[in-house]
Amino acid sequence: WNVEYKWSNAEAKPLFQRLDLDEILEQEKSLAADEPSKDEDPNHSVKGGKKKKKEVKEMPEGTTHLDFETFMEVELRVGRIVSVSDHENADKLYVVSIDDGTQEGRTICAGLKEYYTAEEMTGKSVVFVANLKPRKLRGVMSEGMMLAADDGNGGVKLVTIDGDIATGSQVR
């Protein structure tokens, strides 16, 4: 017990922030106003005195919801596939050159070898994500991602544009 303790005249400071009861009650009121009451069914809406059943669609398992602001950050553009070559370091990847409306164009690596030949892809007008952060895929810089859909039969189909449209056009 030979511990020497030094006393201090320093001002004590609170460890926790003081809670204001009025502020807490106000927050609870605003939260309660946003939520439906226990008597209300959140799947029903009332218009003109009649209850109308809202349809609630089930999302596939593993799907997460994206808020609108985040979705609006995605920049989809139209590009024309100029050339398609095999990736030197990957069996399932193509290296695709796209005319995106700029002078330099862009390169996108795409895992479409088992679904398309290079000749089938060349000349197609496709939709791609233009503001995806570029990254190297097996040593080749990929500057976007083309949109494709699962056909439900084990195949994949590129999202293409019907008709003539300028390369670089924004999808809205």
- DSSP letters of 58-98? PPPTT-----HHHHHT--EEEEEEEEEEE-TT-SS-EEEEE
Residue indicated by tokens 């807490």: 24
Q: Which two tokens stand for residue 128?
A: 């791609």
Q: Which two tokens stand for residue 76?
A: 């989809």
- pLDDT number for residue 52: 53
The span from the CA of 82 to the CA of 57, in Å, is 40
CA torsion 23-29-34-38 (nearest 10°) is: 140
- pLDDT number for residue 25: 84
- pLDDT number for residue 62: 74
Domain limits of the chain? 21-57, 75-158
The parts of the chain modelled with pLDDT lower than 70 are 1-2, 5, 7, 34-57, 59
Q: 75-158: which CATH topology?
A: OB fold (Dihydrolipoamide Acetyltransferase, E2P) (2.40.50)
Angle (CA) 21 23 29, round 5°: 105
What pTM does this model have? Answer: 0.61
- pLDDT number for residue 94: 93
- pLDDT number for residue 50: 53
The span from the CA of 59 to the CA of 165, in Å, is 33
